[in-house]
Structure 1
Amino acid sequence: MTYTEAVKHLEQARFSPIYLLTGEEPFFIQQILSRFREKVLEEASRDFNYDHFQGESLDPHQVLMTAKTFPLFSARRLVIIQNADLIKDERETLLSYLESPCDTTVLVFVAAKPDMRKKLFTALKKKGTAIHCAPLSEQALPGWIAQEGKRRGVSLSEEATWYLKERLGNDLFLIQQEIDKFSLHSSDKKEVSLEMVQQLIAGGRSHSIFELVRAVGEKNLKRSLTLLSSLLEEGEHPLFILTMLTRQWRLMATAREGIDAGKSETAVGKKVPMPPSLLPAFFKQLRNWKESEIRRAFDLSLAADSQLKGGRQSAPQVLEMLLLDLCRPHPTSQRTGYTLPFLESRS
């Protein structure tokens, strides 16, 4: 079952004696384990009936003895084995338990990427209940952020949600931490705006990376250089600035391809991962960018990335030259030999 299905399953309190918890999203893994402790164990007797083991140092006999111990002042005992894929010795002891598990114990094996060809995991999948916690896709992340905000009493605007996604990526622990901050600053229950999120996350910076991206998209050289200087002075990381600019060319390339194919802005906008309220400004910028210019911008950004990582020039110099090249008219903008990765199949 998925993470969402597992949450509903645990809410029903109809527990299986054996679980296999897998997946590469540590935040969801932690959330499921917290729910196991909350739902399986009674608070007053939790310390008496909860045991935790590590796979790399596991003594299977001790696990069996613990799992077969009757719970004290509670209906069930909870036993969790972390890093179960590192269990080495005496797997047969565990396999024998799987054939006849104790109905008053919930035994949870946790392994991010187990080798399902191994006998132990084959048996766990067959005898137990499998829960898989997959990472969120880029498309699903904004919805999760909004839902997580509501769960904590925080209403996030579309722009604020998008900013969190772009700024923090798929680090769900960090996103949750920031949402908790918003809950402390939005006691009046008003919607959390983009400006408020920028203020809290950027540490009071007077300008945001999105203002710079917008200025470059408008080919406004003077404002772009002013914003770049401000962001660098206020501690913004040069590679993050470059990453956000490069991302803009990817979005523009996707949109430009659709527009050039005769699709409407409404249809193309559904393929562009940004809040609908920001799409009009995005398409206004796009009208000033030909496909060849977008490809050139992407090439220039790749070159700037190499220069930043090479360390021969200072970051301000590299980024200033990049903005000069991007914003100044370039009469010989020709299609370069580089093909954007997501357009290769169509080129």
Structure 2
Amino acid sequence: MKSLIEDIKNQQYKKVYLLYGPEAYLKSQYKQKLLEALVPEEDTMNFARFEGKGQNEGEIVDLAETMPFFADRRVILLDHTGFFKGKSDLIADYMASLPDYLVMIFVEEEVDKRSRMFKAVQKHGRAVEFPVQNEDTLIRWVLGILKKEGKKITRGDMELFLGKTGTDMGLIDRELEKLLTYTMGRDVISAADIEAVCATQITNQIFDMVRAVSEKKQKKALGLYYDLLALKEPPMRILYLLARQFNLILQVKELQESGCDQRTMASRTGLAPFVVKNYIPMARKYSAEELRSAVEDFTQTETDVKTGRLNDVLSVELMIVKYSSQNTRE
């Protein structure tokens, strides 16, 4: 990202850019910065956008070969075309001879780094990855926004906030805007404010359900399940997320047993450190063998539902009852 900032700052641009990765908010921000620096918003003659899969490579190359109209530069934006996961030889070859007036910007979520397209961008332009941001980066970003607004928040309440939003910066931005509006006229953001206005994402509701299961709080776990059904969440999606949560607990358990610290666990599981911290107490409640058995049980239940042996709504309920019963281990 620093290299992209330097290009914009120095007004020294590559002929082709690839912005890729799962962090959509940052990717969109930098795409916009790049476009604003390269071409005036009103210059529709020298800017073209191709969005979605199924784009005609020949048409794109033909447009690229067209000289800009009363301007120094032509900009072509190719948004989520899928060219970096399929065969796109024409454009890959064309990158070796891009005209000086042209800047091509590709935006993708996933890319195949072995593809000719990716290698061509690396050779002739700049590929910039936008990964999911780590805990420290997210906290610094949120604190920076709060400081500008004259707001303060404790570390614990910050973790509560990020626990509700997850690591999606777009979602964090939207929830933060709601929080700032709600606390207008006050300097400190409290846990009560966060609970009042910030929506809990489904993955976090599933986490709360799994925690209730691990604590043998059957009534609470079932209540959370019924709440999700009332919100029209498909039972099979809930089952999948439950299985995923138990698999994460298993990973944390195995890393615990191998002597890993919290930061290493975060790195190995792909979770933020403050999220890993919430899994550790649950991992202590089970043996690794019990967790492996649970993961297998969830997988078998999914198969039974898909083959018609079990009803989807009932199957999830039975799994919750089974693993939240006091005698689960007997």
Which of the five TM-score ranges fits, normalised by the shorter chain? 0.5 to 0.7
- The yes-or-no answer on 1:164 pairing with 2:165 is yes
The corresponding residue for 2:226 is 229
Q: Aligned pair 1:9/2:10, yes or no?
A: no
Stretches of structure 2 that go unaligned for 5 or more consecutive residues are none
**In 1, Cα distance between equivalents of 2:250 and 2:216:** 16
Q: Is the 8 A contact 1:157 1:192 kept in 2?
A: no
Give the C-alpha shift of residue 218 in structure 1. 0.9
| Cα-to-partner distance string for 1:123-157 (whole Å, 9 max, x where unaligned) | 7654x3222335x25xx455565466557659782
Mapped partners of 2:172, 2:329: distance in 1: 45
Whether the aligned pair in 1 keeps the contact of 2:163 and 2:275 (CA below 8 Å) is: no
Kindly report which structure 2 residues correspond to 1:319-330, keeping only aligned pairs within 5 A, or say none.
319-328=316-325, 329-330=327-328
AA in 1 matched with 2:285? N
**How far apart, CA to CA, are the structure 2 residues paired with 1:222 and 1:159?**
24
Instruction: Check if 1:287 corresponds to 2:284.
Output: yes
C-alpha displacement at 1:30, in angstroms? 4.2
Counterpart residue identity of residue 33, structure 2: R
Q: Rg bigger for which structure?
A: 1
Q: How far did 1:318 drift? A: 0.9
Contact 1:13 1:40 in 2 (8 A): no
- The answer to whether the Cα contact below 8 Å between 2:47 and 2:75 also exists between their aligned partners in 1 is yes
Q: TM-score normalized by structure 2?
A: 0.68
1: CA distance, partners of 2:229 / 2:96:
61
1:130 aligns with 2:131: no
Measured after TM superposition, the shift of residue 115 of structure 1 is 9.0
Local SS of the residue matching 2:66: helix
Counterpart for residue 256 of structure 1: 253
Consecutive unaligned residues in structure 1, runs of 5 or more: 333-347
Asked whether the 8 Å contact 2:17–2:105 carries over to 1, the reply is yes
Task: Quickly say closer, same or farther: Cα 1:219–1:195, change in 2 above 3 A.
Answer: farther
Match runs of 1:1-347 below 5 Å? 4-16=1-13, 18-21=15-18, 23=20, 25=22, 27=24, 30-42=28-40, 46-47=43-44, 49-52=46-49, 55-56=56-57, 58=59, 60-67=61-68, 69-71=69-71, 76-80=72-76, 82=78, 83=81, 85=83, 98=98, 101-102=99-100, 105-110=101-106, 112=108, 113=111, 125-126=122-123, 128-133=124-129, 136=131, 140=133, 142=135, 145-146=138-139, 149=142, 157-165=158-166, 176-177=170-171, 179-187=173-181, 188=184, 190-191=188-189, 196=194, 200-201=198-199, 208-261=205-258, 263=259, 267-268=261-262, 270-272=264-266, 273=271, 276=274, 279=277, 282-328=279-325, 329-330=327-328
Instruction: Report SS of the residue matched to 2:65.
Output: helix
Query: Matches of 2:284 and 2:290 in 1, distance apart?
Result: 11
Count of aligned pairs between the two proteins? 300
User: Structure 1 length as normaliser, TM-score?
Assistant: 0.65
**AA in 2 matched with 1:158:** E
| Deviation sequence 1:262-299 (CA, Å, 0-9, x none) | x38xx2575153554883x6444433322222222222
* Structure 2 CA distance for aligned equivalents of residues 107 and 38 of structure 1: 13
How far apart, CA to CA, are the structure 1 residues paired with 2:217 and 2:226? 14
In the alignment, the residues of structure 2 paired with residue 29 and residue 55 of structure 1 have an alpha-carbon distance, to the nearest angstrom, of 24
